[in-house]
């Protein structure tokens, strides 16, 4: 499903980041996270507390900290 969403809209950074996270292309995934973090305030982007928003925010925050994007 992520692959189809990415193919339909490859310029959407959130879709791109989530799709690349499901692949083995780590370098592109890190670049996509960097772009996403630079473009969006993740607390605003995922401002509600639904399970899916909490999950995606934690994934992006954890990866951001692991690769020391800031």
**Cβ proximity of 45 and 25 under 8 Å:** no
What pLDDT is stored for residue 43 in this prediction?
81
CA distance 9 to 43: 23
CA torsion 19-3-23-20 (nearest 10°) is -30
Are 13 and 40 in contact, with CB atoms under 8 Å apart? Answer: yes
**Could you read off the pLDDT tens digit of each residue along the chain, which spans 70 residues?**
889 999 999 888 888 988 888 888 888 888 888 888 888 887 888 888 899 888 877 877 777 666 665 4
């Amino acid at each position: 499903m992520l692959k189809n969403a990415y193919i339909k809209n490859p310029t959407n950074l959130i879709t791109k980041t989530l799709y690349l996270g499901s692949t083995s292309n780590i370098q592109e995934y890190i670049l996509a996270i960097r772009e996403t973090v630079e473009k969006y305030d993740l607390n605003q982007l995922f401002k509600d507390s639904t399970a899916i928003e909490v999950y995606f925010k934690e994934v992006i925050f954890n990866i951001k900290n692991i690769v020391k994007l800031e």
